[in-house]
Amino acid sequence: MSDGAMAGLIVGATAAVGVLAGVAGGSVTRRLGRRTHNRPLLLVHKHCRRAGTATILSAGLVIAVPLAGLPRPVGHALEHAAVIALIGTAAWLLVKALFVVQDLVFARVRIDTADNRRARRLRTQVSLLRNLTAACVGLLALAGALTTFGQLRAVGASLLASAGLVGIIAAAASQNTLKSIFSGLQLAFTDTLRLDDVVVVEGEWGRVEALNLMSVTLHLWDERRLVLPTSYFTTSPFQNWTRTEARVLGSVELHLDFLTPLHDLRGAVRGHLEGNPLWDRRDWVLQVTDSTPTTMVVRILASAGDAPSAFDLRCDLREFVFTWLREYHPEGLPAVRFQPVERSQAAPLLLADDTPALLGR
């Protein structure tokens, strides 16, 4: 067998062993995780099996290529490519490990509770830190790959140096990309915006579905998605209905007739709220806030645990009041009245024959 064939066989065998080792490791991790119900192992298998296999393969090639005795130009090129592949796959594996850490934190920090403000804040910060760390890992991997090239070694070294890195960030801070990144960090660590917050932006009501370094995705009430840059939330006003707590006051305004029995209506609304699971049993009030020439404006305020519950409670109250009035006090529904005018009090009718006489006057 020639030297070239032997070298190719060594490299191929190494690659095959690396792939088999990665697949076997992933299979063992999955089976152990399922058998022992070990969530970290299952997450490692979910996120890291491909990146781990690629890293093992790259590491094997880095070791095997110099030992294969390939001709200098080909051997040097393959060795260089294997080193770059190892740097890239190792960075990939590290980023996937960050996803494992994030999922473990999310599993311990639940948001399906009544008061989840702190949990949502922690989730937001962990998500953004993961994105930032992944970006730094990618930058370091790029710098490490550049140092393997003789002509670009100085560029890679400057990227690895802290002063050079700070200089690059400072020089590019005025650009929109890094402006959005800094805005995302500002949103997370000033607690201005969190995952699952209820906000009103540009007249649209929705929840914060995703908050990244570059953008914020809102899940609107009608199932649409509104994507905005993070810099929007640091430069433009917006409503955050869950800034300090999820509790919201729902307001219902009704135009009712002046004959509406307010005392009876107040008691009926109170009884309806007592049996309504949407009301959080904290605040409610019924007031006449304004009037028009034909109606009085009645406002009902009732508190709910969160914004969706407040919206449903408002709809329910509006429906209840109209149904109650129709069944028990129909005179309370708005009506248009006409008052007949007595003939003696009415102005005299002008006939066509009277026009010349009136003009003569």
User: What is the Cα–Cα distance from 185 to 127, expressed in whole angstroms?
Assistant: 10
User: What is the Cα–Cα distance from 162 to 79, expressed in whole angstroms?
Assistant: 29
Q: Which residues of 86-122 are buried (b: 16+ CB within 10 A; e: fewer)?
A: bbbbbbbbbbbbbebbbbeebeeeeeeeeebbebbbb
| Sequential DSSP letters for 288-351 | EEEE-SS-EEEEEEEEESSHHHHHHHHHHHHHHHHHHHHHH-GGGS---------TTTSPPPPP
Burial zone of 138 (CB within 10 Å; 0-12 exposed, 13-18 middle, 19+ buried): middle
Are the C-beta atoms of residues 110 and 116 closer than 8 Å to each other? yes
Report DSSP state, residue 247: -
Element (H, E) at 210: strand 204-211
User: 15: which 2 tokens?
Assistant: 């690659």
Q: Give how far Cα 61 sits from Cα of 12, 55, 93, Å.
A: 9, 10, 17
User: 97: which 2 tokens?
Assistant: 């490990």
User: What is the Cα–Cα distance from 158 to 288, expressed in whole angstroms?
Assistant: 71
* Helix, strand, or coil (residue 150): coil
What pLDDT is attached to residue 324? 95
Which pTM was predicted?
0.53
What pLDDT is attached to residue 10? 66
Angle, CA of 286, 288 and 291, to the nearest 5°? 155
Are the C-beta atoms of residues 120 and 194 closer than 8 Å to each other? yes
Q: Give how far Cα 355 sits from Cα of 124, 151, 243, 337, 347, Å.
A: 83, 108, 74, 34, 16
User: What is the Cα–Cα distance from 186 to 198, expressed in whole angstroms?
Assistant: 18
Query: If the chain, 361 residues long, is cut into consecutive pieces of 10 residues, what is the mean pLDDT of each piece?
Result: 59 72 77 77 84 85 74 76 88 90 83 69 80 84 80 57 52 58 75 83 87 86 88 87 75 93 94 92 92 93 86 93 94 78 54 48 46
For the chain, how many residues are written?
Answer: 361
* Helix, strand, or coil (residue 267): helix
Dihedral sign (CA 103, 107, 109, 115): positive
Helix 162-172 / helix 153-160 crossing angle, nearest 10 deg: 90
Are the C-beta atoms of residues 284 and 273 closer than 8 Å to each other? yes
Q: Supply φ then ψ for residue 153, to 5 degrees.
A: -60, -35
Neighbours of 322 (CB within 10 A): 14
Give the bridge partners for 206, in sequence order: 199, 220
Are the C-beta atoms of residues 19 and 27 closer than 8 Å to each other? no
Amino acid at 312: D
What pLDDT is attached to residue 120? 76
Q: Report strand pairing: 239-240 vs 248-256.
A: unpaired
Domains in the chain: ranges and CATH: 1-108 (no CATH), 130-245 (2.30.30.60), 248-332 (3.30.70.100)
User: What is the Cα–Cα distance from 137 to 139, expressed in whole angstroms?
Assistant: 5
